[in-house]
Structure 1
Amino acid sequence: MGILSRASYVIRSKFNAILNRAEDPTETLDYSYEQMRDELQQVKQGIADLTTQKKRLEIQKRRLEENVEKHNEQAREAVQQDREDLARRALEKKKSKMNQIEDLEGQIADLQNTQDQLVEKKDELQNRIDEFRTKKETMKARYEAAEASSRVSEAMTGVGDEMADVSRSIERAEERTEEMEARSQAMDELEETGAFEDALSDEDAIDRELSSGRTDREVDAELDTLKAELGKGDAEPEAEADGRESVAADGDVEPADEEVEAELEELRNEEDESS
């Protein structure tokens, strides 16, 4: 086998394999069924044309028969009038018309035979189409059942392309979910440890604590006012007095904290004088 022959053989085999993969048996069966129906329609059209032609010949035959009867009457009247020449001419025309009628009858008979044969073939073709239709539907049902069974088997075993895509999608979703869960837990942990400061605020932790203290003092002052209005403001809160006494009585302050304590005492005195 030469190089060109081998190349041609390989190309044909490859092309045939592609066609086999692309071919859908159900579509092929439907196409064949439609082709047979088209042939049946052509046969019916041929029978209709043939019948039309036969009817035309029959109409022409009836007209000739009417002419034959007319020529008969003409010949009789001519004989009654002693016009043998006219009678002869009428009979000659009658003879010609009868010959035409005989030819038409032969053509009509031939057309009738052809029509009968076509009708018989049409009926046979119709029966074949009906049988093919039954087989076609049976084969389509079997093919679809086999295809569905194959897909179910692939799905159960997970070897199908679609199931493989589904498995990969599930794996990616699980990985993404785990990543987001870990990130959320990390954010919560950083927030609990105070590692994040408010990005929109210039305050640090000390500023926030001082602000909280000012708020507490304002609340305490408003509470003292309410107690004074209600006659319960004759003495300052025990907890605050005890606190000052404990601070005043406490003389054992660590040397390292003496300066801080002194500064705090000055701040308290300033606060008392301002109040």
Structure 2
Amino acid sequence: MGILSRTSYIIRSKLNSVLNRAEDPTETLDYSYEQMRDQLQEVKRGIADLTTQKKRLEMQKRRLEDNVEKHNEQARTAVQQDREDLARRALEKKKTKMSQIEDLERQISDLQNQQDQLIEKKNELQNRIEEFRTKKETMKARYEAAEASTTVSEAMTATGEEFEDVGRAIERAEEKTEDMEARSAALDELHESGAFDDVLSDKDNIDRELEQLSADSGVEAELETLKSDMGRGDAEPEPSDDVDVEGEVDEGDIEEMEAEVEDSEIESELAELQDEENN
């Protein structure tokens, strides 16, 4: 294969590939159907033209037949008048017309045969067009269904890939959300435990314990005051009342003694702290 032949073959193959990609089968089927309908119209016009020609010949034949009858009458009249010459001329014209009529009959017969053949071909072509139309619609429906299925499959494939990315994004979002929730819960727990107050405050553990003891002693003193106001406590307890009949110590006296001990211990610790700071 020469260079030009190979080049021509490659060009034709490329063009064929481009045409195959650009071709829409449904449009091709519709175009073919229209072409067949155009052919059918051409055949019908041909039949109409042929029939018109046949009708003209038939009309001409009828005129010649009328002339033949006329020449017959002329010949009879001429014979009655003893004009054989005129009768002979009339018969000659009659013979000429008869010959023309025979030619016309042959032509009309040929046209009739052609017309019958064209009508038969027209009917056959019309049947083929009807069959093609049915097949065309069926093929178009199958092609459109296949095209729709392919489009959906391609969309599902692309969607599947996108869903994978979306799924990974959702997983990352869930992880970040869980981290945020855990961090928020931890911060709430630290806030409730007072860890933030410890960090933000200048007080140490001793200061906070002293404040707690002072608060507790204040609560105890307020509680005793409430008891006294309500008649449940003694304003000035006497030593003889510290022990009841059975020799047990009263609970209110025990609480007052514990409070006095705690206050004395706190005062002692404060005094030691002050001595250490002065030294």
- Report TM bin, short chain: 0.5 to 0.7
Give runs of aligned pairs for residues 155-170 of structure 1, distance below 5 A.
155-158=155-158
Q: How many residues align?
A: 165
Give runs of aligned pairs for residues 1-275 of structure 1, distance below 5 A.
1-158=1-158
Structure 1: how far apart are the matches of 2:14 and 2:159?
Answer: 25
| Larger Rg over CA atoms | 2
Structure 2: how far apart are the matches of 1:133 and 1:68?
Answer: 54
Question: Quick one: structure 1 residues 72 and 143, their matched pair in 2 at CA, closer, same or farther if it must change by over 3 Å?
Answer: same
Deviation string, structure 1 residues 162-192 (Cα, Å, up to 9, x no partner): x98xx9xxx9xxxxxxxxxxxxxxxxxxxxx
Residue 4 of structure 1 and its aligned partner are, at CA, apart by 3.5
Runs of 4+ in 1 over 4 A off after TM superposition: none
Structure 2-normalised TM-score? Answer: 0.56
Residue 3 of structure 1 and its aligned partner are, at CA, apart by 3.7
Look up the equivalent residue of 2:49 and give its one-letter code: D
Deviation string, structure 1 residues 219-264 (Cα, Å, up to 9, x no partner): xxxxxxxxxxxxxxxxxxxxxxxxxxxxxxxxxxxxxxxxxxxxxx
Look up the equivalent residue of 1:108 and give its one-letter code: I
5+ residue gaps, structure 2, are 170-279
Residue 12 of structure 1 and its aligned partner are, at CA, apart by 2.0
Structure 2: how far apart are the matches of 1:34 and 1:129?
Answer: 9
Structure 2: how far apart are the matches of 1:8 and 1:104?
Answer: 57
Structure 2: how far apart are the matches of 1:79 and 1:28?
Answer: 76
5+ residue gaps, structure 1, are 172-275
SS of match in other structure, 2:82: coil
Look up the equivalent residue of 1:15 and give its one-letter code: L
Structure 1-normalised TM-score? Answer: 0.57
Question: Quick one: structure 1 residues 7 and 89, their matched pair in 2 at CA, closer, same or farther if it must change by over 3 Å?
Answer: closer
Look up the equivalent residue of 1:124 and give its one-letter code: E
Question: Quick one: structure 1 residues 91 and 4, their matched pair in 2 at CA, closer, same or farther if it must change by over 3 Å?
Answer: closer
Structure 1: how far apart are the matches of 2:150 and 2:106?
Answer: 64
Identity percentage over the alignment? 84
Question: Quick one: structure 1 residues 136 and 120, their matched pair in 2 at CA, closer, same or farther if it must change by over 3 Å?
Answer: same
